[in-house]
Amino acid sequence: MPFKIIASQCTGCSACEPLCPNVAISEKGGTFTIDPKKCTECVGYFDEPQCVAVCPVDDTCVVDTSWPRRQAQA
């Protein structure tokens, strides 16, 4: 499952954007969004999802349960 950003909690700080190894994060109307088709949950790149690790607001980058889990696909 990819991650998603809860727009109402996003501060628009942009910290996550350059860290994404898949270039899946972009700005949209002042906050940031994750392209679910590109997100790999950082599997194969880093030990922990970078957007989750750097986000200053808890529970803002969360698993998008409407998509299948990444590891399960592999």
Partner 1 sequence: MNAVAGRGRRAGVAEYIGEIAEHKGCRTSPGGAKTNCGSQAGQADLPKTIWEKVKNHPCYSEEAHHHYARMHVAVAPACNVQCNYCNRKYDCANESRPGVVSEKLTPEQAVRKVLAVATSIPQLTVVGIAGPGDPLANPEKTFKTFELVARAAPDIKLCLSTNGLALPDHVDSIARAKIDHVTITINTVDPEIGAKIYPWIFFNHKRYTGIEAARILIDRQLQGLQMLTERGILCKVNSVMIPEINDQHLVEINSTVKARGAFLHNIMPLISAPEHGTVFGLNGQRGPTAQELKALQDGCEGETKVMRHCRQCRADAVGLLGEDRSAEFTTERIMAMDVNYDAEMRRAYQAKVEDERAAKVAARREELAELAGQKSEITLLVAVATKGSGLINEHFGHAKEFQVYELSTSGAKFVGHRRADVYCQGGYGEEDRLSTIIGAIKDCHAAFVAKIGDCPKRNLIEAGIDPVDQYAHEFIEKSAIAWFRCYLDKLKSGEILHVKRDDPAIRQKALTSAA
Q: Under the rule (CB under 8 A), what is the footprint of partner 1?
A: 9, 11-15, 19, 46-48, 50, 53-54, 56-57
In the complex, the smallest distance separating the C-beta of residue 42 from partner 1, rounded to whole angstroms, is: 9
The first and second tokens of residue 7, run together, are 């727009």
- How many of the other CB atoms lie within 10 Å of CB of 31? 17
How far is residue 74's CA from residue 71's CA, in Å, rounded to a whole number? Answer: 5
- In the complex with partner 1, the residue whose CB is nearer, 53 or 67, is 53
- In the complex with partner 1, the residue whose CB is nearer, 30 or 37, is 30
DSSP sequence for 48-61: S-HHHHH-SSTTSE
- In the complex with partner 1, the residue whose CB is nearer, 47 or 65, is 47
